[in-house]
Amino acid sequence: MENDRNWAGNYRYSASELYVPANVGQVQEMVARSRQVKVLGTRHSFNGIADCTESLLSLQNLNRVIALDHAHNKVTVEGGIRYGELCQYLHGSGYALHNLASLPHITVAGACATATHGSGDLNGNLATVVHSFEVVKADGDVAVFSREKQDGGIAGAIVGLGGLGVVTKITLDVIPAFQMNQYVYDNLPLVHLKEHFDDIFSSGYSVSLFTDWKKATFNQVWLKRKIADQAFDQVEPEFFGARLATSHRHPVPGHTSVNCSEQMGIPGPWHERLPHFRMDFTPSAGEELQSEYFVPRQDAYHALCSLDLIREHISPLLYVSEVRTIAEDNLWMSPCYKQESVAIHFTWKPSWEAVKQVLPIIEKQLEPFHARPHWGKLFAMPPARLQSLYEKLPDFQQLLLQCDPQGKFRNAFLNTNIMGD
């Protein structure tokens, strides 16, 4: 393969060839004749989840919107579309998605496969709005998973970790387009979360807290609000002890804010406020690593205090940490399965040897809270521990075996972390 690395450059794919099919027929034919194959999205995962030793397949040419169903508020897209492309189209048609990740450059299928999420007390992860999808299975046949089928299969399949086959078509729920604004506040003491966790995170449609763990303080609060939300039409100079920022901010202290989504309360469309970074800023590669852990919402304050105890281990290796809330869902392999959740994210400097040492320390601190790692990021958790955190794991294993009895779509990541080989 010519470009054999992921977006961050920390992972080198071991596959020997990359297929780029032009249509679903070619996908079926390539899958049927391959011995082992994995789909590559936009390569934004930080571990080997998208890798295999034989063939990779990219759906970069299957990136169209197929249909917008005004009667049922649904959009159907091809499996290679990226959020950036979809959002432009939806907004132009008067629609929106309920939420987005911090950047719009990832594919819809790749994001759903790893339960990618944004923030917001009432917002489930991005896979929760999938109404149905089609997948080319190992034998080349197409299977359909849909909420309309009574078998409940979609709940098991949509956070599929790339193990079911090639997702070629997805139908998503859409909502009417909306306007938002975004304010940043500086310096929120961690201790203020003790009494006000719910007040803070319910203060906007999507709320993120950022810290560099140099102090027991969140350097920034990013508050994203729907403009029509009458409850939030005032901007206060102070927010639970934090002060309203007087200029644009980048989450990483000292970085220029030029590539960040618009702040200072300037109104704009949903897809230009929900991500932290601008659509037209497309970094081709990242000089960073990422990890993220999900804890039950009710434990979040204590989990953060546990991390505060080891901040001298974290801070020197870190660009920034972000704390977000995610609504519970019923998706088997989602870290938010039946659990209102808080995600504690780490953007690391690209020093893997050092980061590798600190991940077990973090995981030990978070162990009492049954923290689950993000599927697409870096973690150190032993497979047995990881597996014990997912009550639907046996059902998911069965689903993988049903869709792919020979393990054509299984790779080292799935064999180790899911199948327990």
By CB under 6 A, tell whether 269 contacts ligand FAD. no
Q: How many whole angstroms separate alpha carbon 222 and alpha carbon 229?
A: 17
Map the footprint of ligand FAD across residues 121-150, applying CB under 6 A. none
Least separation in angstroms between residue 112's CB and ligand FAD is 8
Residues 167, 76 contacting (CB under 8 angstroms) = no
By CB under 6 A, tell whether 120 contacts ligand FAD. no
By CB under 6 A, tell whether 161 contacts ligand FAD. yes
Partnered with residue 170 across adjacent β-strands are: 77, 133
What is the residue type of 168? T
By CB under 6 A, tell whether 44 contacts ligand FAD. yes
User: Positive or negative CA dihedral for 248, 252, 254, 256?
Assistant: negative
Q: Which stretch binds ligand FAD (CB under 6 A): 37-45, 68-76, 245-253, 256-264?
A: 37-45
Least separation in angstroms between residue 73's CB and ligand FAD is 23
Residues 411, 51 contacting (CB under 8 angstroms) = yes
Nearer to ligand FAD, 60 or 330 (CB): 60
Strands (E), 12-129: 17-19, 37-40, 55-58, 65-69, 74-78, 95-96
By CB under 6 A, tell whether 169 contacts ligand FAD. no
Q: Which stretch binds ligand FAD (CB under 6 A): 26-34, 40-48, 90-98, 179-187?
A: 40-48
Nearer to ligand FAD, 114 or 341 (CB): 114
Map the footprint of ligand FAD across residues 278-337, applying CB under 6 A. 286, 290
User: In this chain, which of 10, 28, 34, 45 binds ligand FAD, going by CB under 6 A?
Assistant: 45
By CB under 6 A, tell whether 116 contacts ligand FAD. yes
By CB under 6 A, tell whether 166 contacts ligand FAD. yes
Nearer to ligand FAD, 107 or 203 (CB): 107
Q: Nearest CA to 346 among 46, 51, 11, 121? A: 46
Least separation in angstroms between residue 111's CB and ligand FAD is 5
Can you list the alpha helix ranges (DSSP code H) found in 262-411? 300-308, 311-314, 352-366, 383-388, 393-403
Phi/psi of residue 169, nearest 5 degrees: -150, 135
Nearer to ligand FAD, 82 or 192 (CB): 82
User: In this chain, which of 98, 117, 131, 192 binds ligand FAD, going by CB under 6 A?
Assistant: 117
By CB under 6 A, tell whether 158 contacts ligand FAD. no
Residue 374 region by backbone torsions, left for phi larger than 0, else alpha for psi between -120 and 50, else beta: beta
**Total residues interacting with ligand FAD, rule: CB under 6 A:** 34
Q: How many whole angstroms separate alpha carbon 372 and alpha carbon 334?
A: 9
User: Positive or negative CA dihedral for 169, 175, 181, 186?
Assistant: negative
| C-alpha count within 13 angstroms, C-beta hemisphere, residue 102 | 18
By CB under 6 A, tell whether 52 contacts ligand FAD. no
User: In this chain, which of 114, 208, 217, 365 binds ligand FAD, going by CB under 6 A?
Assistant: 114
Query: Hey, how many other C-beta atoms are within 10 angstroms of the C-beta on 247?
Result: 8
By CB under 6 A, tell whether 206 contacts ligand FAD. no
Can you list the alpha helix ranges (DSSP code H) found in 153-206? 153-157, 192-201
Sites of contact with ligand FAD (CB under 6 A) = 7-8, 38-45, 49-50, 59, 79, 101-103, 106-107, 109-111, 113-114, 116-117, 161-162, 166-167, 286, 290, 374, 376
